[in-house]
Amino acid sequence: MQSSSLEETIVAKRSGSSGGWLKEHFDDHYVKQSQKDGYRSRACYKLLEIQQKDRLIKPGMCVVDLGAAPGGWSQVAAELVGDNGRVLASDILPMDSLAGVEFVQGDFTEQEVFDRLMAMLAGGQADLVISDMAPNMSGMRDVDQPKAMYLCELALDMADQVLRPGGDFVVKVFQGEGFETYLASLRERFVKVLTRKPAASRPRSREVYLLGRGLKA
């Protein structure tokens, strides 16, 4: 009887937690706005706010988008670079096609995916690398934080290899162990480094966006 009662309590708590998250999600202003505006995700508004403040994306640019699915950032980038620009996107998850976006599906931690993106650039250089990558979160910070920082390091390595001198970099970083060291590494590479916490980022989230402006030659 005690075991059964405990199981029922756990199920009830899980159901309540899940229901609360779903209600929060669908009541979310940015979720409703994205549906109204025809954007693929609420994350679009994070990039749009950064764009409004920092004017990162201009017509004709070549943009590399890492962790792109379901395509919100690629959608915004493609609109802003226009017909003469290029957006190369990658994610481990599938992504429905988008006009003006070339997509590579696969695990960015694997060399093959990196090589495919480099082949698409065909020796050319990108003006901007954007990364909204994040690992599947377990809820255990000691496990999640190192995984998140590893993806940030990979994104920075990509930026090092494909950005033109003076190019820019945007990356999602979770505050915690490794953050300050990573911030210092950006300051070594870029003329200016800015921190942004868009309004569309949930207040309780540890995520911030670091902007590296002007890759040093």
Q: Does 107 belong to an annotated binding site?
A: yes
What are 62-108's pLDDT values in tens digits? 999 999 999 999 999 999 999 999 999 999 999 999 999 999 999 99
Beta bridge partners of 126: 163
Q: What pLDDT is attached to residue 11?
A: 39
**CATH of 43-215 among 3.40.50.150, 3.20.20.80, 3.40.50.920, 3.40.50.1000:** 3.40.50.150
Binding site annotation covers 142?
Answer: no
Model pLDDT, residue 215: 98
Give the per-residue pLDDT at 82.
97
Of the candidates 13, 32, 46, 172, the residue annotated as catalytic is: 172
Check residue 88 and give its pLDDT.
Answer: 98
Q: What is the pLDDT of residue 27?
A: 52
21 labelled as ligand-binding? no
Listing DSSP states for 113-165 in one string gives HHHHHHHHHTT--EEEEEE---PPP-S-HHHHHHHHHHHHHHHHHHHHHHEEE
| 83 labelled ligand-binding | no
Q: For the chain, which residues score pLDDT lower than 50?
A: 1-18, 20-26
Determine the pLDDT at residue 10. Answer: 34
In the prediction, which pLDDT does 33 show?
A: 76
Q: What pLDDT score was predicted for residue 114? A: 93
Q: How far apart are CA 95 and CA 80, in angstroms?
A: 20
pLDDT at 5: 40
pLDDT at 38: 64
What pLDDT is recorded for position 17? 43
Total residues found in the chain within this entry: 217
- How high does pLDDT run on average in the chain? 87
- Letter string b/e over residues 11-28, b meaning 16 or more CB atoms within 10 A of that residue's CB: eeeeeeeeeeeeeeeeee
172 noted as active-site residue: yes
Q: Is residue 132 part of an annotated ligand binding site?
A: yes
